[in-house]
Amino acid sequence: MKSALPIAESIAENEGLVIEDLSGMPNVDESNEPTFIAVWSEPEFQGEERWLLADEDIDALNQSVKSLSQGKSARTISVRSTNEKQRRYTLTWSSKGAPRPRSLQDSR
């Protein structure tokens, strides 16, 4: 599963994009590894870095929160449940903080 996640030198990153979100798709057959969809975007700030924690349990989530919370902010979080009713977490972190809110004027 994790071998299928975006690598550090992906085409998107070579184009100057950063990971925006990673979503796990529902999987009826739990014996198959989950499928993920990666969303990329332009950095909101010059020099912004992002990190990805993908499909981890609560212990890995808590450990990552402790190590990444110094000067960094969580951008997105998603949770999926396995057939065994175990929760798996995916987070993206930014060196520059949470996403900027968009006003109605920004969308025109």
Query: What's residue 5's pLDDT?
Result: 57
Q: Count CB-CB contacts under 10 A for residue 19.
A: 23
Averaged pLDDT score across all residues of the chain: 77
Query: What's residue 32's pLDDT?
Result: 74
pLDDT digits (tens, 9 = 90+) for 9-48: 577 777 888 888 888 777 777 677 778 888 888 988 888 8
Which sign, positive or negative, has the C-alpha torsion 36, 45, 99, 63? positive
Query: What's residue 62's pLDDT?
Result: 86
Q: Is position 6 within any domain?
A: yes
- List the domain range (segments joined by +) for residue 57: 2-99
Q: Is position 106 within any domain?
A: no
Counted domains in the chain? 1
Q: Is position 69 within any domain?
A: yes
Query: What's residue 52's pLDDT?
Result: 86
CB 51 within 8 A of CB 74: no
Q: Is position 108 within any domain?
A: no
pLDDT digits (tens, 9 = 90+) for 74-94: 788 888 888 788 898 988 888
